[in-house]
Structure 1
Amino acid sequence: MSSSVEIELDNAPVDMVSSLHFSPATADHLLVSAWDGSVRLYDVTKDDQLVSVQHRAPVLDIAYPEAARAYSASLDGSVRIVDIEKGTVHTLGTHGNAARSVVWSESYNFLLSGSWDATVRAWDVRSPTPQILAAPHPERVYSMDADKERLVVCMAGRHVRVWDLRMLRERTGHKEPAQVRESSLKFQVRKVACMPEGEGFASSSVEGRIAIDYYDHSENAQAKKYAFKCHRTTVDGVENIFPVNALAFHPTYATLLSGGSDASISIWDIGTRKRIKQLPKFRSAVQAIAVSRGGERIAVGCGDGLEEGDKPVNASVFVRMSGDEAKPKPKTSA
């Protein structure tokens, strides 16, 4: 990468970015999916597009567990395997409505997909009959994420389900979730992200708020949960509230990055409940954030679209060296 702190990648998608993931093998490679149906691999050190694989429908999410293989969720309901080395794509399975989210379980080596058909499906990608199970849910799936042992599913109607991944992998039909919850947010959830250490999760809403929740039902653990306002501006005495579209935990510092339709990214210390830093604003709404596994790089996908109707999408992808900007500030003694 050049000596500048941040670069904008050439050959960005022509429609809104939906998801970003750094390669599990190197922080030099970034995989980007978009509403134009493309999945593109970039070498961010050379600002070079290495591969572009086209789908028949908009790609709403990707999982990237192997350097040569990814998995995509499409608006047409398909869950697909993307062979990055060959530049090909083929269908793993389908949902009855749009496939909204895909998550890879590193602990148990299977794929999970969530859909607007109100199911979560588990897939053994190496099996000739890949679908392990289809678990019905009360509403459309909007966002999912997983830690080592749990899957968190956020849906319409403020429904939240927490699954034990050991149960979802079994080929024995329908299983019950480990926890049935109601979202701590009053408005529609846009994104969920699990804490790196497996204590809980963060979720964001269309109404400029983030909630921090913990799995442990004990009184001490639940006393730590909270929600806060963010991604808001006041102009001439009028408060403007923006959706929080993107969340990502830093893998080294466990700080939380949030991106919103106000075109900004904030970095939060969830332990002290304080903002560490706000990055300089981008040209358009932040739709996706990714942090490399070593924490050295942050990728940002931007583009107006969900909120701006027929206006130009203005899609763009930025990559910046993270340094210590996501590191929590030292705690001062009383």
Structure 2
Amino acid sequence: MESTNVLEFPDVSKDYISDLKYIPEINTVIVTSWDGSLSMYKIIPSNGSYNITLDKQYNVGFSILSCCYSQDGIYIGGVQGELTFLNFQTETFQLIDDNKATSGIIRITPYYHDFIAGSWDSTLQVIDHIDHSIKSFKAIEDAKILSMDCTNEHLVVSTTGNKIKLYKLPLNSMNNGTLIDSVLKYQTRDIKLIPDGSGYVIGSIDGRVAVEYFDDPSRQFAFRCHRKKLSDVQFVYPVNSLLFKPSSDILFTGGADGCVSCWSLKGRRKLKQYNKIDEKSVVKMAGGDGILFVAASDDSFKTNAIITQDIELQPSSVYLIVLDTN
């Protein structure tokens, strides 16, 4: 296998990276962190490679969990339920009116021209893209939202208790969705809809990925990944991040072992195991045709029995991987 071209981002926040978004139409990657920073990097092709430069950086004044790009700005979700909008024209922050969240905004996703925000307190909110206010909201009872993904037709939400909530959109007060049990035994770290709309994939802390289909449950399957086998023991690493190659069934998985793997859902097989990217955990991925962005952070605090204020973590990193075209 030919060596992969890997480029490291400059001036990355040292704190835990909470979100990573690639906006191909403006050649920009957005990186957010628990230290409250939002960084925008320009990604410019150059002589078969790429130049990566820090374009703009903001500090919102609270720990960030999630972000989502809009043509006129960026929606930002905070650990304490903060929901704000960064206006590109004025470069000011605007609080979202009628925000109902009281704890972490774990994910913000585009939905037609609007956006859906999900939070740890089980709240789902639709944000109006025109006046940046909440136009509708729902609450999932007796569950904490862990991850979610959305297209114009479906919203899929993973929650505590090994549950999955499926909604056919639009999301309104009459839409209660469908609650099902996850096929995975252990807690979900990420969930993604399959690009053709046929189903979704979920990754869990026990190094497994499950593939579920809406209309044909007989097609569902699961596979193991991100494991290290020694002579007398096998180490199992959480699957922290899932990403589909645009408009395809090609799935990337990022694990706490610092590795990225590439899979074909149609062929039900691994296509490639990339060289270990970092000693830290792969926590977020983003990408497009021919390129993959990987954020690595020290998430060892998640397995510590006691978390203290003076815990020292390794500084975070972000990488660009130029994918093989064959």
Question: Structures share a fold, TM > 0.5?
Answer: yes
Q: Quote how far apart the aligned CAs of 1:180 are.
A: 1.8
1:281-296 matches, cutoff 5 A? 281-283=276-278, 284-292=280-288, 295-296=289-290
1:22·1:30 contact (CA, 8 Å) conserved in 2? Answer: yes
Q: Quote how far apart the aligned CAs of 1:128 are.
A: 6.8
Q: Quote how far apart the aligned CAs of 1:235 are.
A: 2.2
Q: Quote how far apart the aligned CAs of 1:90 are.
A: 2.1
1:39·1:54 contact (CA, 8 Å) conserved in 2? Answer: yes
Query: 2:136 and 2:86 mapped to 1: Cα distance?
Result: 20
Corresponding residue of 1:130: 134
- CA offsets 1:147-178 (integer angstroms, 9 cap, x no match): 23000010111111111122x1x4xx35311x
Corresponding residue of 1:113: 117
1:104·1:110 contact (CA, 8 Å) conserved in 2? Answer: yes
2:262 is aligned with 1:267: yes
Q: Quote how far apart the aligned CAs of 1:120 are.
A: 1.2
Query: 2:323 and 2:223 mapped to 1: Cα distance?
Result: 25
Aligned partner of 1:73: which letter? G
Aligned partner of 1:49: which letter? L
Q: Quote how far apart the aligned CAs of 1:129 are.
A: 4.6
Corresponding residue of 1:57: 62
2:50 is aligned with 1:48: no
Aligned partner of 1:226: which letter? F
Query: 2:52 and 2:25 mapped to 1: Cα distance?
Result: 18
Structure 1 unmatched runs, 5+: 326-334
Q: 1:100 aligns with which of 91, 100, 106?
A: 106
2:9·2:52 contact (CA, 8 Å) conserved in 1? Answer: yes
1:60·1:73 contact (CA, 8 Å) conserved in 2? Answer: yes
- CA offsets 1:209-258 (integer angstroms, 9 cap, x no match): 10100111xxxx21110111110101232100111100001004320000
2:129 is paired with a residue whose SS is coil
Q: Quote how far apart the aligned CAs of 1:94 are.
A: 4.5
Corresponding residue of 1:314: 315
Moved more, 206-215 or 57-66: 57-66
1:280 is paired with a residue whose SS is coil
Corresponding residue of 1:223: 218
C-alpha RMSD over aligned residues:
1.9
Corresponding residue of 2:192: 193
Q: Quote how far apart the aligned CAs of 1:324 are.
A: 2.3
Aligned partner of 2:322: which letter? M
TM (normalized to structure 2)? 0.88
1:57·1:74 contact (CA, 8 Å) conserved in 2? Answer: yes
Query: 2:17 and 2:154 mapped to 1: Cα distance?
Result: 27
2:195·2:248 contact (CA, 8 Å) conserved in 1? Answer: no
1:165-176 matches, cutoff 5 A? 165-166=169-170, 168=171, 170=172, 173-176=173-176
TM (normalized to structure 1)? 0.86
2:201·2:211 contact (CA, 8 Å) conserved in 1? Answer: yes
- CA offsets 1:87-120 (integer angstroms, 9 cap, x no match): 4322213512221111111xx3211111111121
Aligned partner of 1:97: which letter? S
1:135·1:175 contact (CA, 8 Å) conserved in 2? Answer: no
Change (3 A) 1:257 1:65: farther
Corresponding residue of 2:296: 302
Change (3 A) 1:87 1:129: closer
Moved more, 121-130 or 91-100: 121-130
Q: Quote how far apart the aligned CAs of 1:311 are.
A: 4.0
1:39·1:53 contact (CA, 8 Å) conserved in 2? Answer: yes
Q: Quote how far apart the aligned CAs of 1:307 are.
A: 3.9
Query: 2:286 and 2:110 mapped to 1: Cα distance?
Result: 15
1:223 is paired with a residue whose SS is helix
Corresponding residue of 2:203: 204
